[in-house]
Amino acid sequence: MCGIVGYIGNKNACEVILNGLNKLEYRGYDSSGIALNIDGKIEVYKYKGRIKNLEDRILSLDLNSGCGIGHTRWATHGAPSDRNAHPHTNMDGTIALVHNGIIENFVALKEWLINEHGVEFRSETDTEVIAHLIDHFYNGDLLDAVYKAVGKMKGAYALGVVHCDEPGKIIAVRKDSPLIVGIGKDENFIASDIPALLKYTKDVYLINNDEFVMLTKDEIKIFNENRQEIKREVFHVTWDADAAEKEGFDHFMLKEIYEQPKGIDITLNRRINEKGAINLDGITITKEDLDKINRIYIVACGTAYHAGLIGKYAIEKFAKIPVEVEVASEFRYREPFIDDTTLFIAISQSGETSDTLAALREAKNKGARILTIVNVVGSSVARESDDVFYTWAGPEIAVASTKAFTTQLISVYLIALYMAEVRGTIEKEYYDLVLRELKALPDKVEKILKNAEPVKEIAEIQHEKQHAFFIGRGVDVTVALEASLKLKEISYINSFAIPAGELKHGPIALIEDGTFLTAIATQDHLYDKMLSNIQEVKARGAYVIGVAKESNKLIEHQADKVIYIPDCIDEVTPILSIVPLQLLAYYIAVMRGCDVDKPKNLAKSVTVE
């Protein structure tokens, strides 16, 4: 996510803001910038790359100002570049602003500003629209102009705004993006998150949605959407800086597991209109396009490969098109059949995985259409694709992928349903049912996360095991693969996953007293077979953790412990059933004293072969 910082007071605003931006680095970013009010002029410095890039260019300039705003950008609209970096300004540079969020109606607003008011845009961002909107409404009162501009906007935003004619003032406002106000002595602050301010103050106001803030160095005023001033309790921060970056979570991985409801919601609901039509961010795949496609490959690595397996399931089930899924490191060396009737779908969180990138380039060189599902805007995979569908999981810091995975699953379901609708291979009521079930997932994931205690208890019992098995049938095989990868990569337990039906073809020879085995049994039509498999392994001494839907209680008589997921249709269970298994891997790794966020030998982005 982007990070914003603002300062007004007697210190050097440039130093305070840069310190704050450095403390927000963990949020992930690709560029940074600062705007300072110097002698009644707004000076803006902003560059692609690390904050050090910005520091190297401005610290020698001795910029003396007591008022300014700064930003670290996590690109959503417009690739990382100097001109797309924040702060953004109006045409005459009298206003500067920083923004964290997404303005959903920015295209219409941009057209209105260009056609009706001759505004000239200098960036590809949604944010720049806000600067021109505020300018349009500005009539000597910055707070008033921000109210009017915000009234035109739809989407999520946390804004910090300054005007050269109001040098001692910062205006801020939030909706669905975080914003806090730091309370100092003869100085005040705004920021996206507490770590940015901890060096200067531990007293903050937590700002709620649709609240506006007017800051001077001596005064903080908070207003509601009706412009009435409101009082707010001071929140005293008890965390230290490191804990605050994780917003009170012990590890980034746990924080990112708990961010999944929001990531799923944003990735899903911003792409479905009120009539239930799916918009793939402007990607058009017509019926003619699909009729021309002879082969679909989904290619990825690790967790992203597992998302590809669910993609195969969804596209074949809904769109009735055969799909081949391969790990990128194999795909590129086996001389696959590729031509201009091939659709190549790459999935990648980082967008920099060298195996995936190399496979994509091979497919592109041979004429395939390249569609990618990627989390990092402007990454290499994104830049080299014909079509990009972004997961909006926000930056994923922990090496073990969690929220990127569930948003990748949402993405493949949306693409599959879109294709099915275009091809006419799905009944309307079934399409509507699946969409309804997907929309209900954020709340169901939230419910699972609120009931993590049983999972922790299982981790207590099993965390000293050296081996672990995961079994499943149908889509639960993929969940078993992903759960097994999570466990092995952060706890170093030797775990593996197999289709339950394969047990009798060899692996059951390994089952003995106390074998730690997780049986994922969420598919109604395969439930009885899974119960039989559980009996088989129980008979040989295994300790079985069952994963099942709430309404399927029979499993309690077979398994030693059961983790339930909220009822849903079979098709969408993977997005739910993986969540408690992410938590299980997390708790086991913590109890084994492992470095959960940075497991040994692993990198967050594997940019080497």
8 binds ligand AGP (CB under 6 A): no
Ordered alpha helix ranges (H), 59-196:
106-117, 127-137, 142-152
400 binds ligand AGP (CB under 6 A): yes
Q: Pairing between strand 95-103 and 88-89? A: antiparallel
Q: Least distance (Å) from ligand AGP to the CB of residue 504?
A: 29
> What's the burial of 365, exposed, middle or buried (CB within 10 Å: 0-12/13-18/19+)?
exposed
The 10 Å Cβ neighbour count of residue 582 is 28
- Identify residues 338-357 at the interface with ligand AGP (CB under 6 A): 348-350, 353, 356
Minimum CB distance to ligand AGP smaller for 26 or for 305:
305
Q: Least distance (Å) from ligand AGP to the CB of residue 333?
A: 18
Q: Least distance (Å) from ligand AGP to the CB of residue 28?
A: 13
Single out the catalytic residue among 2, 14, 67, 594: 2
Single out the catalytic residue among 364, 529, 598, 604: 604
Q: Which of 45, 112, 135 is nearest to 85 (CA)?
A: 45
Q: Least distance (Å) from ligand AGP to the CB of residue 400?
A: 4
Minimum CB distance to ligand AGP smaller for 258 or for 564:
258
Among 58, 399, 498, 544, binds ligand AGP (CB under 6 A): 399
Stretch that binds ligand AGP, among 60-68, 283-291, 399-407, 438-446 (CB under 6 A): 399-407
Minimum CB distance to ligand AGP smaller for 515 or for 582:
582
Note whether 544 and 436 are within 8 A (CB): no
Note whether 420 and 431 are within 8 A (CB): yes
Minimum CB distance to ligand AGP smaller for 216 or for 605:
605
Minimum CB distance to ligand AGP smaller for 36 or for 253:
253
Minimum CB distance to ligand AGP smaller for 353 or for 385:
353
Q: Least distance (Å) from ligand AGP to the CB of residue 41?
A: 43
Write out 320-380 in H/E/C secondary structure.
Answer: CCCEEEEEHHHHCCCCCCCCCCEEEEEEECCCCCHHHHHHHHHHHHCCCEEEEEECCCCCH
Amino acid occupying residue 549: K
Minimum CB distance to ligand AGP smaller for 363 or for 399:
399
Task: Show the site string, 562-601: x = touches ligand AGP by CB under 6 A, - = not.
Answer: ----------------------------------------
> Is 67 one of the annotated active-site residues of the chain?
no
> Is 604 one of the annotated active-site residues of the chain?
yes
d(CA 103, CA 2): 14
- Identify residues 304-333 at the interface with ligand AGP (CB under 6 A): 304
605 binds ligand AGP (CB under 6 A): yes
d(CA 404, CA 257): 10
d(CA 524, CA 58): 62
Q: Is the dihedral of CA 328, 330, 332, 337 positive or negative?
A: negative
> Bridge-partner residues for 8, per DSSP?
67, 188
Q: Least distance (Å) from ligand AGP to the CB of residue 467?
A: 20
Q: Which residue is nearest to ligand AGP (CB)?
A: 302
The residue to which tokens 């804990």 are assigned: 243
d(CA 175, CA 231): 18
Burial annotation 338-361 (CB, 10 A radius, 16+ → b, else e): beeebbbbbbbbbbbbbbbbbbbe
Ordered alpha helix ranges (H), 426-474:
428-439, 441-449, 453-462
Q: Least distance (Å) from ligand AGP to the CB of residue 195?
A: 25
Paired tokens of 254: 């746990």
The residue to which tokens 């669910």 are assigned: 310
In 482-530, which ranges are E strands? Answer: 494-499, 516-520
Q: Least distance (Å) from ligand AGP to the CB of residue 374?
A: 8
Among 301, 415, 483, 530, binds ligand AGP (CB under 6 A): 301
Among 303, 329, 478, 533, binds ligand AGP (CB under 6 A): 303
Minimum CB distance to ligand AGP smaller for 20 or for 394:
394
Q: Least distance (Å) from ligand AGP to the CB of residue 33?
A: 27
d(CA 391, CA 405): 9
194 binds ligand AGP (CB under 6 A): no
Q: CA of 468: how far to CAs of 392, 480, 488, 518, 521, in Å?
A: 32, 11, 9, 8, 17
d(CA 301, CA 353): 8
Q: Least distance (Å) from ligand AGP to the CB of residue 596?
A: 12
Residues binding ligand AGP: number (CB under 6 A): 15
Minimum CB distance to ligand AGP smaller for 126 or for 489:
489
Task: Show the site string, 470-499: x = touches ligand AGP by CB under 6 A, - = not.
Answer: -------------------x----------
Minimum CB distance to ligand AGP smaller for 304 or for 435:
304
Q: Pairing between strand 229-230 and 342-348? A: unpaired
- Which stretches of the chain bind ligand AGP, using CB under 6 A? 301-304, 348-350, 353, 356, 399-401, 489, 605-606
User: Active-site residues: which are they?
Assistant: 2, 604
